[in-house]
Amino acid sequence: MAEFIRVAVCDDARGVTMLLRHFLEEEGDMRVVSSTATGEAVLDEVADTRPDALLLDLLLPDVPDTATLVGDLRRRSPVTAILLMSNMPAFRLEEEAARTGADAWIPKAIKPEELREAVRLMVTATR
């Protein structure tokens, strides 16, 4: 049996989460193992599921500082690659990814094939 890339998604917009799941699972090599909408929920889910990658919305309503959340996520699952997502301009998103300690960043307006490739690259780099 083939090994799947296990992905968690955390975004407070249900439509975004559903679309990401569709894009990620489209080619059959990835499985979304967790889908959450809050910082509190993603902490519990990441600890339980230990995904290979986490797509994390930069702006969650219950998270005052994403850097603190990223640090907590790292302690709970050091093997999980964290990709920060947002609609903000790329240069700002890149700055925020560096500030928070995320492994990479992706814009929410990304083509499905680019999303899958970004996840594959990050998982390969962190394995």
Strand locations in 4-61, DSSP E?
A: 5-10, 30-36, 53-57
**Contact (CB, 8 A) for 120 and 5:** yes
Residue 67, CA distances (Å) to 32, 39, 58, 71, 98 in order: 24, 11, 10, 6, 9
Q: How high is the pLDDT of residue 126?
A: 75
Q: How high is the pLDDT of residue 81?
A: 96
Q: Compute φ and ψ for 16, nearest 5 degrees.
A: -65, -45
| Cα separation, 24 vs 119, whole angstroms | 9
- List, for residues 62-78, the tens digit of each pLDDT value: 999 999 999 999 999 99
> Is residue 2's pLDDT more than 70?
no
- List, for residues 14-64, the tens digit of each pLDDT value: 999 999 999 999 999 999 999 999 999 999 999 999 999 999 999 999 999
**Contact (CB, 8 A) for 20 and 55:** yes
**HSE-CB for 106 with a 13 A CA cutoff:** 25
| Amino acid at the residue 126 | T
Homologous superfamily (CATH) of 5-126 is Response regulator (3.40.50.2300)
From 51, 89, 113, select the one nearest 10 (Cα to Cα). Answer: 51
User: What three-state secondary structure class fits 28?
Assistant: coil
Q: How high is the pLDDT of residue 95?
A: 95
- List, for residues 91-108, the tens digit of each pLDDT value: 999 999 999 999 999 999
| Amino acid at the residue 55 | L
* Domain residue ranges of the chain, discontinuous segments joined by +: 5-126
User: What three-state secondary structure class fits 77?
Assistant: coil
